[in-house]
Each structure stands twice: as structure tokens, then as C-alpha cells.
Structure 1
Amino acid sequence: MRRPRRMQLAYVALLLGTAVLYLWDLSASGWANSFYSAAVQAGSQSWKALLFGSSDGANSITVDKTPAALWVMGLSVRIFGFNSWSVLVPQALEGVAAVAMLVATVRRVAGPGAGLIAGTLLALTPVAVLMFRFDNPDALLVLLLVAAAYCVTRAIEKESSVWWLPLAGVAVGFGFLAKMMQAFLVLPVFALVHLIAAHAPLRKRLVHLVGALVAVVASGGWYIALVALWPASSRPYIGGSQENNILELALGYNGLGRLTGNETGGLGNLNHDVGWGRLFGSEMGTQIAWLLPAAVIAIGAGMWITGSKPRTDPLRAGILLWGGWLAVTGVVFSYMNGIVHPYYTVALAPAVAGVVGIGSVLLWQCRNDIRARIALVGMTATTTVLGCVLLGRNADWQPWLRPTIAVVGVFASVLLLVVDRLSGRAARGVVAVALAACLAGPAAYSVATASTPHSGAIPSAGPSSGGPGAGAMGGLLGTVVVGAELTTTLSSNADDFTWAAATVGSNNAAGYQLASGVPVMAVGGFNGTDPAPTLEQFRQYVADQQIHYFVGGAMAFGRGGESSGSKEAANIAAWVAANYTARTIDGVAVYDLSVQIGS
């Protein structure tokens, strides 16, 4: 069989395998992150809710992100009905598309072998498996950024490729609509790579960059302008802001505040591990760190091999693109002082996979040079050692795997030193053994991730540590488990009210809304710290018979009961408790706001 034919079959097998990994038993996670699933449900009930990303169909408040990811899931639900599959399948397909796009991008500069390696590494990164089987906006963000990288790669190939760079800008702009300022971390890298490597005079390269910047602003800014110009009285409150302002959300809570920790209404960084070791630490290490040392070696080796090549060399451009993406995003994630969660590291996965794919193939092509063989040994050995360390953090899970990886990794490392003396078939066998040693850890974690139901606001890849119910505790970051009697109570006479109920915090509201299928107001937004509604507004809603019930429950108003955000939610809860009688339904305090004390 001819080599191109084998490569085509391998590519098809990769995409099919990725699809199986990302789609298999997908509905086991139920609503996954109920915060976003409830917003998708709202979008299936109201086009305005879909447009703005409202938490409920009656449009009280939005989620604390721009809603591009919700648009994709919402349209799926509009077509196929509201269920776990219709919410999560678009995310999985975005993952398959991201793998395909990464293969296409790397293949253009380093050949089909490098593309297949990169695609495989992305598909088997544990945090990628987690996010492409979950309903957070990170899935769409990653796909759009990889698509932007593909466009940048095409733009630098020849001088006549004038439209590819603006298309990259469009992809980044829509990435902003998925997860706001995080999408912009790649912009300086893309701009620098184009300036260095594009086939055009410097003046044209600068003009092309201006055009791409205009595309970024237009593709992301149209929605900001729409929301800013829309009368506030006829749209939902902008969740995550303190002044009902989407620019405040973009530049503050989801912007500079993530770097400085000065996020009004936010909770700050709860990990307390700022520094270079964060990516290898207990929270993030098993999500993304498996191949980080190999990626660093690949960057250095790749720059050494391509150092004397012309300015426009595509291989060096590819190393700069993926290596720069990894460096900038990795430094930001390591040192940001605001809210940061382990699953954010999915944005590093394409960069790690891309640079390792290119670097490993380059080193293999130069294997007659002892320095290249030493670099290959370094990539294999460090990945093997790190894999054993990361697996050791869950030592009771598959205890045979660590010693097996150690033995195979040492064996492969020794053979790589003399691989130039081996026959072609034997050399390829050594490569297969080395790849097996390097991929066994993350692949096992990825399969475990796909086999484990995940729910709540902060999911984590890897073997189950608490079962499918983990995270279902209500309050700030979990999802309430709603009993049958309470579900029936909330649903009864719901059509007579704008909101069947109100409760503090978006996760609490999401649980009640998903169970009952009727709008539930999230008082105070995600953290319970947004001034939406104010006590005065809430009292008017009650007087106008727009809210039927208020559901009490555990809700931390910020960290340790303190927050820089609004206290309106706490005031509302206190006012309800002082003026209405609670009855316990399924263990929860429920206040009927249509019946006041003494009436």
C-alpha cells in the first residue's frame, strides 16, 4: 500500500477514534455544567434569551460570558429538542473538528506524519477530552483559535494569500464572543509570526495586520455594540458586571481582573499557587502537563534545526506559532491572580500538540546527528518520568501502569540513542515503543475521563474521585438535587407568573429550572454578587405577582461570606425571610411570595 494511502487511512482512523472517544456515552454527564445548560434551555424558550445568553427564558440576567457557545448549543436544541445529547453533541463535534483542523495546519508545514502526531496528542489530552464532552464555552474557543492558526499558516505561504489573515481575525473575534479576552492571548503571537515569515514586503505585511485587526474588531465588536445600544430596560441584566455594562464584563471581570485579581464581585484565585509550577501542580498537572517538557525541548530543537533557513521558512514559522502560543498562554495561566480553573488549560492543548508534532518529526529526520538523538531521548525520558509522577498522584488507580511506562520508556530511550544504526523497520518499531511510553499516561487518563460522568462548575479530568454525584451539592459551584415534590410545586401555576421562582445564585436557579422546565430567577447572578435585581426591584416584582416562590438554600455571598460585589442578594434573602413564612419541601425552605405574613 502506498504511503499516502496509509496516511489517509490513518487520518480517517484518527477522526473516527476521536469521535468515539468524545461521543461515547455522552449523556452520562446529564446536564454537565447546569449553569450553561439552563441558559441553553432558556434559549430554546426565547429567542431573546438565546441572543443575550440569558439564564432563564424570562430574561432576568445573562450568564457571565458572551454567548457564542450558547448559540451553537441553542440552535442544536431548537432543532433536536432539549436533552443532554442535543446540548453536548455540538461540543464533541467541535472537538473532532479541532483535531481535524490541527492536523491540516501542522501538515502544511511539516508533512502528514507531523500532522497525525499533533492531532493524536490533542485528541488524547485529558483536559481536551473533558472539555469536548462538557458544555463550557472552552470547546468552541479552542476550535476557533485552531482555525485562526490555520488561517495564519495559509496567510504566510505566499504573497497573494491576502484574505487568510483577515479570516484569522474573524476566527479570533468570534473566539472573543465565546470566552472574551482569553481569545486575544494568541494575537501577539500570530502578528509576530506573520511579520517574521510572510511572503510579502514589510509594508504589505503591516497593512495585512491592520486588516486582520479590523476583522477582529468587527467580528467581535458587533455584539458588544448591539448589547451596549440595546435599551437596558428591554434586555436582561449583564451577569458578571456591577453596572449592567458588557464592556465592564469584558474588560474587568473577564479581562484585566483575571490577571490582577481585582474582580469586583468575583472570588479571586482560589488555588493559591501562582507561579511557574502551577501548570505542573496538583490542580492542573494531570490535566495538561504530560507533554510540556517535551514541548519545550521541541521548541528549542526546532529553532536549532531551522536556524539557518530563510526568513519565510514554514517549519520555523510553525514552531514560532505553536511555541509562541504555548509560551504566552502558559505564562498568563501560571501567573494570573484572578479566577483561574484547571480546565482553562485546554487552551494550551493545541499548542503543545502542534509543537511536539513538528519538533519530533524534525528531530527524527535529523537522527543521524547525535544532538538530534539526544533531544529525542530527552523528550521521551522527561515525558516518561513526568508521566509516572502524575500517575503517582492517584496511585491506587491502575497501579501496574507506572512501572510499565517506566520500563518501556527507559527501553525506548536507550534504543533512540542508537536508532541511526538500526534498519528502517526496527527504527520504526523504536518510534512506536517511544510513542507508547509517552502516550500511555495521558491516554489512560483520557479514557478514564470519557468513562466518568462529570458535573458542576469546576470539572476535572481523570479517574472518578467522587462518582457522578460529585459536585451536586448546590450553593456557589455545585448544582442542587431537586426532589419530585419541589419540582411539582414549582411547576404548578407557573404560567400565571413571569418567574416560577427566584433563588440566590445561578447554579441554584439552574438546578430548579432544569428540573421544573420553567423560568427561575438567579438573584445576584453566578456568585450572588451582582446587583440584579435590587431589593427595590425585587419587591416590585413580588408586588406585581411576577415571582411565585423564593427558594432558600446555602449560598456563600463571596469568599468566606465577604465579597467586593453587591449585597443586594443577601438583602433580598433577608427581606423574604422577614416577611414570608417558609415551608420545607424536600428538605428546602420555600417561601410562597403570593402569601405574606399576616395576610
Structure 2
Amino acid sequence: MTNILNTNISSSPLQQTGWLHRRLLPGVTPARLALGGILLLAAFLNFSNLTAVGDANFYYTAAVKSMLQSWHNFFFVAAEPGASVTVDKPPLGLWIEAISAFFLGVNGFAVVLPNILAGLISIPLMYHLTQKYFGTGAGLVAALAVAIMPVAVAAQRNNTMDGMLTLTLILAAWAFLRATETGKLRHLLLGAFVVGLGFNIKMLQAFLPLPAFYAVYFLGAQVGWGRKLLNLALATLLLLVVSLAWAVAVDLTPAAERPYIGSSTDNTVMELIVGHNGLNRVFGGLGRSRQQPPRADDDDANFAPPINGRPPQPNDGGQFTPPSPPNGQFVPPDGGQPGTGAPPASAPGGSDEVGSSGVLRFFIAPLSKEISWLLPFAFVAMLLLLLRRKLTLPLQPQHQFLLVWGGWLVAGWVFFSFAAFFHAYYLVMLAPPLAALVGAGMAELWQLGREKWRLAAGLLLGTAVLTLAFQWFDANQFVDNAGTLALAGGLFLAAGGVLLVVGNGRASFARAGFALLLLALMITPMIWSYLTVMDINNVNLPGAYAGVDEFAAPDRNNNRNVNQSLLDYLQANTQNTDYLMAVPGSMQGASYVLASGRPVLYMGGFNGADPVVDAADVAQLVADGDLRFVMLNNGQPNGQQGVNAWVLENCTAVPRFNNPETNLYRCSAHHNS
């Protein structure tokens, strides 16, 4: 079939649509006005109702507060000011959030702002990357689609760093496409470097689109096969150096001089990469003993051998002056339940957050509300882009585009359909390829209409009906008034269909019909994004609006105020003590870090399962006067039986602060030898 695009980008049909480029004022065209309008819509969605964000994910916000107290804490991404344990993520995203908080104060707005800005920057990038290959109209459709994706709006309004990861991967896609176009090594190395930065935001999650990136260069660049293999080898070497630089630096630091590596089994970042943030995401808790309680973002119970030596001593501040503390509230991070060590909604095998694994996971509740609204259209677009022109080597630009974005989307769809554990907001990384394919699909249908109008109109109407039918089915799983959304989309569909049929291929009718059908496709995800923004239970574990309670993640916000009486008591009785108190894990301690800015010893790391300290360590801290108060779970296993036994034998309960969940104990040096 006839190519609609060659290396001369201006040959794209929608690029030739003159009205989009008509000069209205100096520097002002309809296309630029439309892109500006999309950016304003995205800004409205991202900045509206930010008071509901509160202090966002408390685990990470407390870590940011800790990181601003010393360069040591900043480099190692210490989870609490005493630097007893790190967070379970690499540093780059948290470094950026900490820099934002340094200037704006430690608060919800400061820590979510980097992700919001990343999301807004992604919109013109998606416009450019799609417009270059399929024209201005396609670029605008892609920009709109990525702006209104519910999971994107949810993730960008949070400090879980996936918005920043998504931006880095878009930049990497640009670099690999540019390397394919020019054949130059420097663009290939730039792409590898950017993916390495993404690795330092969310580890192996950043590698998900890498096969598509490598494949497009290998199959599309107009250089010799041997040269391409050599260049890819050099890019891989750079990728590994950038990706592992921080991990190697941390692991080479003696354990006594750094925090325990949170969520690792052997106190190394390498194990964290391969285990907790690697194979465990695919298969579940491999290698974990079931004698220990589960982690908040693990499905299996876990076991880690105890470590020798005492924990790092609280740092004495230094380079940064922490801003005044926010109101102290606590939300269990990433969906874990406070004080129980229970897994979140994302446990494998079926859950309230991501559902059971399988090929239909993206199309049924609870996961379908996140990103699947336009997925049927995107899959049809992939087939159309593949079949419309003959495959050649090197790949034509349109097939290069398809390989990058289609390969990225399919890889993500397969992985997240069968992965044992992930959170729903991880799907934000699939928003760019989905949006790009929707934009390209609209452009391809437009071009087909220039050749075979009835076939193009039939395909467009059929695909729109299929997509809208799925949107109604999807919405109906979560809300009772899905018919209202279906009616709105149906009206636009009917109006657009009439114009296509009556116009019989005339350009003005075709443009209006395409526009109405586009609105029909976009109106439901746009409204769902607004509902997501207005959802006050969408703070700690972000995700698209969950509608009826049946599919809402349990206690996703779970705000609990700091016990001010307890905080006042601890402050009054620990002025000469380094730690405010020791707690089973961040579940109980993060809110007190935010409220006081003081070190709080997370004895079990994130959710009570890490061997950050043992009984001997606690005894030594008490003997040295560094620790006076210990909070224990009341009747709940937490993997710290040795510590519990020592505290019960050597410390005295403080009855006024005991409750059904926890007990507070006061320890004195003279109680132990």
C-alpha cells in the first residue's frame, strides 16, 4: 500500500491539514492553541483539590524529612532521621523530592510537585514524538490521551515517583528513535543513560520497554549489522554503569557506616534489586520463609538473617535545616495495614487493587479502571499500523514508531497481566505508548479515508463502537450511573457517525466527524480522571477512582492522627536521648517522624520484617542512653520475637499509652547489664 510517511515528515496527511497551522496571530495557530488547551486541562486535573493529598505517601514523605537533616541521610535515602534503615527504592526520585522540599518545606505539595511537573512535561513531548511521524492531528490526540489517563492523574498527584519514571522513559524513547533515524552512537548512548536514570528511580521497572528500544535501533538504523551490535554493546555497558553506580557505592560502604538496606534479605542493594524489587514482583516472595510475617508490599512471609553490630547512631543534622514539621498524621505506606504486617490489596492471586493474574486482568475490575479505557482502540491501531504497509529492513519510520510504542505497550500488558505483585499506579508507565498508538491510529484511519473512504469510516465507527462498549462495561463495574457516561459518549458517536455517512468523504464533514468521534472516545476517561481528583481516599495508595466500595482498595487512605498526648510525653522525656522511640516498623513511626523531625528507630524496617536491630542492639542503645521508649505490637507477630522478649523482661509498660494495637514500654539503663 501507499506509504503515508517517509523520511520527509511533512508528507503526513494530518501535517498537511492547513487549518491547524493557519496563522491567527504572530506565533499563534489552532494547533498551538489546542496544545495549550490540553496543557491547561492537565494542569487543572493535577492541581485541583490538592488539599486532599495531605502529606501524600507518609513513608516517602518521612524519608524526605529525614534526608534533609544530613548529607549522609540524603545520599543513603534514610527512611528516618536516625538512619537506621533505608527506604526500599533507589535514590534519584527521592533526591528530587527532597530538593523540592528543601525550598518549599516538607509538605504534600512539595513532594508531589516533581511528579506533577513530570506529567505536564510529558504532554508536549508526546505531541512532538507522535506529530513527527503521523502529523499534527495525531500529536494532539496523543497529548490529550496522555493528559486525561486516570492512572496518570492519580500517580502524578502522589510522591510514589512513577510520574518521574514515566517522563524518563519518554525521553529515552525519543533518544532511541533519534539514534535509529541518524544511526549515531551518541543518541544511542543518551538513551541508555536516561534509562539508567530511570533505573535509579524505580529499579528494574525502568527496563520494561528496553527490548523495544533496542529492537528499533537494531532493525531500523541504517548502519551495518556489526556496527549496530557494537554500538548496542557500548550502550549496554553505559546502561549498567549508570544503573548500578549508586548500588555499588552503597554496597561497598561498610554496613556499620550506613543504614540497613530496607526490604533486602542480606543488607545489600543488589539483593534488593534482584529480590524484593525484581523476581518477587514476578513470582512473589521467592526464597522467603513462612515463619515470618509478610511485608506490606510482599505476598509471602519473609526471613532475613540477623546482622551484627549496633544500628547507625542518629545523625546530628548538619548541612540541611529541616523545615517546620507538618501536621502529624499517619497513613500506612503502599497499602499495608498498621501494626499487623499484613499485605496490601495487591497480594498475588487476586486482590482488591489489581485482581487475579491472567489475560483479562486489564479488562475486568479492579484493574480495568486505571488505563484500559482506550486499550481496544490502541490494539486495533497496532494492527492497522502493522498491516497498512509492507515490512522492510531497515524498518520504515512508521514501523519504527510502532515497534517502540507497540512493543512498550505489549511488554507492559503481558508483564502486568501475569506479575505476582505490583501496585495499580505502576500502570502509569503504559500511558505514553497507549496515547501514542491512539493518536497514530486516528491518523492512519484518516489517511485510509483518502484512499477508501467507506472502509475507513466503517473501521473508525466499528472501533469506536467497540471501545465505547468496553468503556460502558468498565464503568458499570464501578458505578451505578454508567449509563449516563454511555449516553454522553453515544451521542457524540451518533453525531460523528451521521457526519461521516452524510459527508461521504468531504473534508469538512470528515474533520467534524473525526472530532466528534474523538470526543466520544475521550469523554469517559476524562470524567473518570476528574472523579479521581475529587476522591479523598486516593492519597497513600494512588489509583483511579474506584467507585463502589466493592472494588475500592481497603483503607487506601487510612489517616490516623498522631497521638499528641503520646508525642508530648515522649518529647518531654527524651530531651537527652537520641531516639524519640523505637517502633516495630514505619507503620507506627512515620507519622511521628513527620510530627517531630526526631529519629524514630524502625526496628523492622518498612513493615516490621527487616532485621534492622536485634535484642542485643536494643539493649546496647538503652545502656548507652540513646533509647528510652519502645513501642511493641500488641498480640501481633512482627518477626522481632527476640526484641519483644527482651523488652518485656527489661522494660516497664506505660499503661496510659497502651491500646488494642500497641503497647509502650519505658526502658532504663539500670534495668539491664
Aligned CA distance change for structure 1 residues 283 and 471 (closer, same or farther; 3 Å) = closer
Match of 1:404 in 2: 488
Change (3 A) 1:556 1:287: farther
| Matched residue, 2:230 | 207
- Of 437, 440, 444, the match for 1:362: 444
What does residue 205 of structure 2 align with? 182
SS of equivalent to 2:81: coil
In structure 2, the partner of 1:379 is 463
**Residues 85-115 of structure 1, C-alpha deviations (whole Å, 9 max, x = no match):** 1111111111111222222222222222212
Q: Distance in 2 between matches of 1:593 and 1:472?
A: 34
User: Please, which of 267, 280, 284 is the counterpart of residue 363 of structure 2?
Assistant: 280
Whole-angstrom distance in 1 between the partners of 2:573 and 2:255: 29
Q: 1:23-62 counterparts in 2 under 5 A? A: 23-62=47-86
Shift of 1:455: 5.2
**8 Å CA contact 1:101, 1:146 repeated in 2:** yes
TM-superposed CA distance for 1:140, in Å, is 1.4
Shift of 1:577: 3.6
Which residue in 1 is equivalent to 2:167? 143
Root-mean-square deviation over aligned CA pairs? 2.6
Change (3 A) 1:308 1:251: closer
Gap change, CA 1:512 and 1:43, over 3 Å in 2:
same
Of 372-381 and 239-248, deviating more is: 372-381
Once the two structures are superposed, the pairs formed by residues 420-459 of structure 1 within 5 Å of their partners are 421-454=504-537, 457-459=540-542
1:496 and 2:520 equivalent?
no
Identity %: 31
Please report how far the alpha carbon of residue 135 of structure 1 lies from its aligned counterpart in structure 2 after TM superposition.
0.6
The CA distance in 2 between the partners of 1:175 and 1:311, in whole Å, is 28
Q: In the alignment, which residue of structure 1 is the partner of 2:12?
A: none
**C-alpha separation between the residues in 1 aligned to 2:537 and 2:98?**
21
Deviations 1:27-71 (A, max 9, x none): 321111111111111112222222111111110101111121100
> Is it true that 1:593 corresponds to 2:667 in the alignment?
yes
SS in 2 for 1:89: helix
CA offset at residue 595 of structure 1?
7.8
Equivalent in the alignment of 2:137 = 113
TM alignment of 1:329-368, pairs within 5 A: 329-337=412-420, 339-367=421-449, 368=451
Question: Quick check: 1:448–1:463 contact (8 Å CA) kept in 2?
Answer: no
Deviation at 1:414, TM superposition (A): 6.4
- Is there any run of 5+ residues in structure 2 with no aligned partner, and where? 1-17, 22-28, 289-294, 301-346, 351-355
* Counterpart residue number, 2:654: 582
Whether 1:528 and 2:608 are equivalent positions in the alignment is yes
Q: How does 1:544-555 map onto structure 2 within 5 Å?
A: 544-553=624-633
Question: What is the letter of the counterpart of residue 74 of structure 1?
Answer: A
Letter in 2 for 1:199: Q
The Cα of 1:359 is off from its aligned counterpart by 1.8
Amino acid at match of 2:430: L
* Alpha-carbon distance change, 334 to 425 in structure 1, aligned in 2, over 3 angstroms: same
Letter of the 1:543 partner, please give it.
A
Q: Residues 479, 214 of structure 1: CA spacing in aligned structure 2 closer, same or farther, 3 A cutoff?
A: farther
Between the aligned partners of 1:9 and 1:92, the Cα distance in structure 2 is 21
Indicate conservation of the 8 Å contact 1:146/1:350, yes or no.
yes
Contact kept, 8 Å, 1:294 with 1:378, in 2: the verdict is: no
Match of 2:118 in 1: 94
Give the structure with the higher percent helix: 1
Aligned match of 2:593: 513
* Counterpart position of 2:335: none
**CA distance, structure 2, for counterparts of residue 391 and residue 443 of structure 1:** 12
**Equivalent of residue 243 in structure 2, options 200, 209, 220:** 220
Shift in CA distance, 420/158, structure 1 to aligned 2, threshold 3 Å: farther
Change over 3 Å in CA distance of 1:493–1:20 after alignment to 2: farther
Query: Given the superposition, is the C-alpha separation of residues 539 and 375 from structure 1 closer, same or farther in structure 2, using an over 3 Å criterion?
Result: farther
How do 1:215-364 residues align onto structure 2 when only pairs under 5 Å count?
215-263=238-286, 264=288, 266-268=298-300, 269-272=347-350, 273-307=356-390, 311-337=394-420, 339-364=421-446
Where 1:13 maps in the other structure, the secondary structure is: helix
SS of match in other structure, 2:602: strand
| Count of residue pairs brought into register by the alignment | 582
- Find the structure with the greater CA-based Rg: 2
What amino acid does structure 2 have at the position aligned with 1:267?
Answer: D
2:232 alignment partner, SS class:
helix
**Deviation (angstroms), 1:145:** 0.7
CA distance 1:42–1:313, shift in 2 (3 Å): same
1:560 corresponds to: none
Unaligned runs of 5+ in 1: 558-566
Any idea what SS the aligned residue of 2:610 has? Answer: coil
Distance 2:81 2:554 in 1: 25
Higher relative contact order (CA 8 A, sep 6+): 2
Q: Does 1:572 align with 2:596?
A: no
Residue 181 of structure 1 and its aligned partner are, at CA, apart by 0.8
Q: Which residue of 2 aligns with 1:3?
A: 20
User: How big is the shift at 1:424?
Assistant: 2.1
* Equivalent residues of 2:141, 2:439 under 8 A apart: yes
Mapping for residues 475-494 of structure 1, pairs under 5 Å: 480-492=560-572, 494=574
